[in-house]
Structure 1
Amino acid sequence: MKNRAFRYFLSTVAVIAALAYYKGDLPPEAARILGVDVSQSAVHEAAPGGDVILSDVRAQHILYGDASGGGHKFGVGKPCKSEFPSDWSDEKILSTVKRIAANDNLPWRQEDNGYYVSEYSTEDGTRVRVVLDSERAHVITGYPTNGQRNPCPANDP
C-alpha cells in the first residue's frame, strides 16, 4: 500500500512539473533536478502562419514515454500502449502528429478536460489520434488507435 501511494505521489509531482514546464513556469532548479531542458531551443517555435507547437518534452512523451504515459514508438514496450508501425522513424511519427495537429479541416472535438482531440488515417492505414491543449496551440500527445496494444500486466491473467 505504501509503495502504491508513493508511486501515485511521484506521478502527481511529475505531472505538476510537466504542466508547469509546459506553461513556462518551471523554476530552473526544478528543471535541473527533473533533467528537463528549459532553454529556448527546447521548444519548436510556431511558424508565422500560426503553426502548432510540438515541444521536445511532448515529443519525448510521444516516442519514449514519461511518468504521465506515452511511449508509442515501435519497440519501446510500454505496458498497455499502442505503438506506431515498425517502419516509422521518429521523424515520421512526429511530422505526422504535427501535420494532423495543424489540420483545421479535421473534426476537432473538445473534451471535458478542455483538450481538443481528432483522428486521421494515414496513407498506410495507420489511424492516429492527436490531442491538443485547450487553445489548440500545443500538442499534448499523439498515438495510433487501430493497432495492437502492448500487454497490460495488471489486466492479464
Structure 2
Amino acid sequence: MALAAAAAFLVVLGYGFVRGGIDGLNDASAVAARGRSVDGVVVAKEKVAGPQGSRFKRIEVRFTTGDGRSYQFWEGGDADVGDTIRVHYELGRPETASTGSVTSNRVGYGMLVLLGLALVILMPLLVVRLVREGLRDIRRAARKRSAAG
C-alpha cells in the first residue's frame, strides 16, 4: 500500500514537472519570438538553504522596461551587488524576466519535461512489475505448500 502511495505521489510530481517544463518552454519560445533584452543591476545577493543542508546563491535583479517601468526578480546566480547583468523578457510580460539565455532556458525546461515524463511513465510500470513479482512469489509459495502437504 505504501509503495502504491509513493508511486502515485511521484506520478503527480512528474505531472507537475511536465506542466512546469511545458510552461517554461512556452515562455522561452515567446521570449525568443517577441523578446526584449535590457541591462539590469544586481541589487541584492543571498545564500538560501537547500535540501540536505546544501546552500545555493541567488540574486535580486532590477531592470527597466522600454516604457520606463522598473521591475525586480530573484533568480539563482553568483553576480555581485552592483553588477550589470543582461535580462531577457517577453514584451508586455516582464514577469517572464530571466538572466538565462533562451537556449539555456529551453535546455533546462526540456530536461524538466523529460524528468516528469520519466516519472509519469516509469512509476506505474514499476508498480505493475512489483505487483506481478509479488503475485508470482505468492503462487510459488502456494505450490510449495500444496506439494509438501
TM exceeding 0.5: no
With a CA cutoff of 8 Å and minimum separation of 6, indicate the structure with the bigger relative contact order. Answer: 2
Structure with max Cα Rg: 2
Higher helix fraction (1 or 2): 2
